[in-house]
């Protein structure tokens, strides 16, 4: 597994790098935000560990640019900014998980493991009977390719990159419509069409009204589903 570690504290970076390397990860370390952005654009990583307070380019802005590029690599934020507002800002910017410093090393390893378990072989994304092969840019229900429009595919790719986590409506709008002036509500129509094509895939696209959508498998849908959705 290829891991990008973005941390400007060299002592902490060394500790994390050694610990993760001993567990089979190949690590690339960056201490500068702009350097990390260039690395992530050049190479496909399986996971990114991201500090927020970085020289050159702030971690949140780095994350926003990656998500704006369509980069769906799982991101675990590691930062001293532990306030609720900071965590919300990080998750809204596209992070998959958030761990405040100082943290327990074993907890960090466990969270990395949880994120990487979402990936199938060769970096596939999986949920229920649904999988996405990034190399071929094809979605499958079991072994059958799904026929999706470009907007449906862009939406599903974004949701699959954050399984069991809410993706804000505005982030979905940007992923699907880009710079177009489509209203946020236009996402609802794309979701409606996508749901019809996901029948039999053992997944659900749930609506958290006024917030966004999340993708989960059938076994967790009942617990995740808000009242009235």
Say whether pLDDT at 229 is over 50: no
**Strand (E) or helix (H) holding 100:** strand 97-100
Task: Give the separation between CA 180 and CA 107, rounded to whole angstroms.
Answer: 41
Say whether pLDDT at 46 is over 60: yes
- In sequence order, what are the residues at sequence separation of 6 or more whose Cβ sits closer than 8 angstroms to the Cβ of residue 191? 155, 205, 207, 213
The one-character DSSP state at 75 is E
What pLDDT is stored for residue 62 in this prediction? 92
Interhelix angle for 10-21 vs 105-116, to 10°? 60
What percentage of the chain exceeds 70 in pLDDT? Answer: 90
Q: Which residue has the higher pLDDT, 70 or 129?
A: 129
Compute the mean pLDDT over every residue in the chain, rounded to the nearest whole number. 84
Q: Which residue has the higher pLDDT, 222 or 124?
A: 124
What percentage of the chain exceeds 90 in pLDDT? Answer: 32
Q: Is the peptide bond between 189 and the residue preceding it cis, with omega within 30 degrees of 0?
A: no
Closest CA to 7 of 66, 52, 62: 52
What pLDDT is stored for residue 193 in this prediction? 95
The whole-number average pLDDT for the span 175-182 is 76
What pLDDT is stored for residue 115 in this prediction? 78
Say whether pLDDT at 227 is over 60: no
pLDDT digits (tens, 9 = 90+) for 59-102: 989 998 888 887 878 899 988 876 677 777 777 788 888 888 88
- In sequence order, what are the residues at sequence separation of 6 or more whose Cβ sits closer than 8 angstroms to the Cβ of residue 36? 4, 6, 30, 50, 54, 57, 62
Task: Give the separation between CA 184 and CA 193, rounded to whole angstroms.
Answer: 16
| DSSP letter string, 21-47 | HTTT-EEEEESSHHHHHHHHHHS--SE
Closest CA to 208 of 183, 225, 191: 225
Output the CA angle 16-21-27, nearest 5 degrees.
80
Task: Give the separation between CA 213 and CA 221, rounded to whole angstroms.
Answer: 12
pLDDT digits (tens, 9 = 90+) for 144-174: 999 999 999 989 988 887 788 888 888 888 8
What pLDDT is stored for residue 126 in this prediction? 83
Task: Give the separation between CA 13 and CA 109, rounded to whole angstroms.
Answer: 14
Say whether pLDDT at 223 is over 70: no
pLDDT digits (tens, 9 = 90+) for 13-30: 999 999 989 888 889 999
The whole-number average pLDDT for the span 132-147 is 86
The stretches of the chain forming alpha helices (DSSP H) are 10-21, 33-42, 59-68, 84-92, 105-116, 150-160, 169-177, 186-197, 218-224
Q: How confident is the model at residue 6 (pLDDT cuts 50, 70, 90)?
A: very high
């Amino acid at each position: 597994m290829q891991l990008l570690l973005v941390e400007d504290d060299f002592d902490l970076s060394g500790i994390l790098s050694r610990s993760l390397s001993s567990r089979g990860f190949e690590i690339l370390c960056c201490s500068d935000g702009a350097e990390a952005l260039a690395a992530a654009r050049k190479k496909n990583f399986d996971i990114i560990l991201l500090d927020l307070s970085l020289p050159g380019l702030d971690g949140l802005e780095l994350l926003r640019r990656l998500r704006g590029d369509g980069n769906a690599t799982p991101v675990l934020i590691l930062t001293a900014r532990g306030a609720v507002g900071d965590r919300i800002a990080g998750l809204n910017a596209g992070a998959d998980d958030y761990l405040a410093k100082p943290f327990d090393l074993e907890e960090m390893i466990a969270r990395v493991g949880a994120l990487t378990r979402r990936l199938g072989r060769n970096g596939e994304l999986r949920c229920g009977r649904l999988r996405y092969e990034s190399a071929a840019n094809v979605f499958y229900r079991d072994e059958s390719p799904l026929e999706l429009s470009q907007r449906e595919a862009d939406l599903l790719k974004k949701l699959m990159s954050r399984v069991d986590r809410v993706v804000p409506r505005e982030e979905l709008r940007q992923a699907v419509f880009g710079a177009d002036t489509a209203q946020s509500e236009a996402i609802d129509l794309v979701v409606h069409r996508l749901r019809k094509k996901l029948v039999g895939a053992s997944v659900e696209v749930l609506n958290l009204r006024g917030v966004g959508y999340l993708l989960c498998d059938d076994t967790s849908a009942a617990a995740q589903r808000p009242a009235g959705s």
